[in-house]
Amino acid sequence: MCYYTTTICKDGDRHQVVTHWDDHDPNRFIYAPVTVTGEMTEQKLAEAVASQGFRIVSNQSDNIGRGWAIVERRQRHRFYDPISRDWYSSLSNDQKNAIAAKYPGVDILG
């Protein structure tokens, strides 16, 4: 099982919800941000991450208040390859080496 961090950023009267594949760099995200209008609730957050194929794992926490949540991929393929932009049940050593070469210092799961 692989967990990812989703951040919630207030943008005027809207919120941007984005899931990252690299916890060390918030600009490395898996999908484009989802915009949520109006007041952010746990239900709206769950719907936003579900629209991208994730589910909230940190469901006993104040995700909205702290501005981030822990999520996991709902489908069987759980590891993201940012080079191919696809999901895999595991990453090969070649994939890991290519990711490390392109993004030095990143923690590679899978």
What's the pLDDT score for residue 1? 64
Helix, strand, coil percent content, the chain, rounded in steps of 5: 20, 35, 45
Q: pLDDT tens-digit profile of 49-74?
A: 999 889 999 988 899 999 999 999 88
Q: pLDDT tens-digit profile of 70-89?
A: 999 887 677 888 899 888 88
Residue 88 lies in a domain: no
17: β partners: 8, 34
What's the pLDDT score for residue 80? 85
Domain boundaries, position 34 = 3-73
Residue 63 lies in a domain: yes
Q: Is 6 exposed, middle or buried (0-12, 13-18, 19+ CB in 10 A)?
A: buried
The count of structural domains within the chain is: 1
Q: What's the chain's average pLDDT?
A: 88
